[in-house]
Amino acid sequence: MKTIQLQLPSSINIGNNLMETLPSDSRIMRSQRLLFLTAAPLAQQMQAVIEPLKKTHSVQELIYDYPGEPTFELFGQLLDQLTGTPDCVIGTGGGSVLDCAKLLAALGTRKQQLTEVIGMQLVNRRTIQLICIPTTAGTGSEMSPNAILLNAATQAKSAVISRELVPDAVYIDPSLTLALPARITAETGMDALSHCIESYTNINAHPVIDLYALEGIKLIAGHLRQAVADGTNIDARTALLVGSMYGGICLGPVNTAAVHALSYGLGGKFHIGHGLANAMLLPPVFEFNAPASEYRHASVARALGATAANPTACIAEGAALLRSLASECGIPAKLSDIGIPEGAIPELVATAMEVTRLLNNNPRKMTPEDAETIYRQLF
């Protein structure tokens, strides 16, 4: 069994309207210079927290208002906007915002360059405090040691993976997600589901992580439809955020596999949303991998709600449940529906095959021919 190390935030706070308590967080109280990186739709809402702090702290606000995944250039622009070295970075938003906030906390002292830390465990000891506040139930970035950026020149994604990117404190506040559009709720929810499923079924699966992964699957599969149908359903919103948090815990010691590897080209070249790409790829990859780990895939299927006693039938039911969940939440079934030409398949395959960091986790070896078959199923 693989040796794992769980590195979690030292403070995890979960509850409705938690933002009222943020100014009393010990990390903020010990700091003099605060940097808030906030998703644009939440900028006004966060003023209730930020304005009082300006009386006692030096506060800089950066508004994140950029579509798609963050690029090297974008992060450089954010870094250049720093008016000094903050004592504490507070990131509020979806995965892109949190990834940038994590990197600002890691590199805000200017002692390392971004290009020096691409890869595994290359970030020097972080001295800037970091608080992450997720406002989508998707990436689980608030719990993970990962940050993903897009190299616009090469259209390829790069990962910074370091224990120094795990936040010091996390605030899970479902009230911040109530206005999230149904489409974003669906795509980010399916992304969180893919984290849990891929962590449970990959070759590095571990009993400790299994607990988080299976419970995350149950929470997300059991509540995503309700949150998409009624964004004000606070119980559904809470369940999704907790499920996403569990998925984020899984990413550190176990991580994802072929679903995410196959999505890289869709996001990098065609700028398809990360959650949407994973949502579309999840059912066919689930079916492809099932023969290599029948027990685990049947367990996933049962967590999704399958009832068949026979493992093979249970897995088939699980795949059908994944497809019906995606469909009912408005996820397109075909890549052609989102503007991807079938002629792009060779390039998509080539890009996916380069993501060995994730493909090596897959329970079943995937060849270029296998990847091509999976893409063609989506046309």
Q: What is the amino acid identity at position 294?
A: E
Pairing of strands 146-151, 156-161: antiparallel
d(CA 182, CA 321): 20
> Would you say residue 79 has pLDDT above 90?
yes
For the beta carbon of residue 349, count every other beta carbon within 10 angstroms. 20
d(CA 251, CA 28): 27
- What is residue 97's three-state secondary structure? helix
Q: What is the amino acid identity at position 307?
A: T
| pLDDT tens by residue, 182-207 | 999 999 999 999 999 999 999 999 99
| pLDDT tens by residue, 279-303 | 999 999 999 999 999 999 999 999 9
Q: What is the mean pLDDT of the chain?
A: 96
Of the listed ranges 18-22, 133-137, 165-169, 214-218, the least confidently predicted one is: 18-22
| pLDDT tens by residue, 22-72 | 999 999 999 999 999 999 999 999 999 999 999 999 999 999 999 888 999
pLDDT at residue 155 in the model: 79
- Which DSSP symbol is given to 88? E
Q: Tell me which H or E stretch contains 246.
A: helix 234-251
User: All domains of the chain, ordered by start, with CATH?
Assistant: 11-177 (3.40.50.1970), 182-377 (1.20.1090.10)
CB–CB of 139/94 below 8 Å?
yes
d(CA 96, CA 99): 5
- What is residue 2's three-state secondary structure? coil
| pLDDT tens by residue, 292-343 | 999 999 999 999 999 999 999 999 999 999 999 999 999 999 999 999 999 9
CB–CB of 375/336 below 8 Å?
no
- Which DSSP symbol is given to 17? T
**Prediction pTM value:** 0.95
List the structure tokens of 29. Answer: 């109280």
User: What's CA 178's distance to the chain center, in Å?
Assistant: 19
Catalogue the E-assigned strands of 167-324. Answer: 169-172
For residue 13, list its beta bridge partners: 171
d(CA 376, CA 200): 26
List the structure tokens of 40. Answer: 């644009």
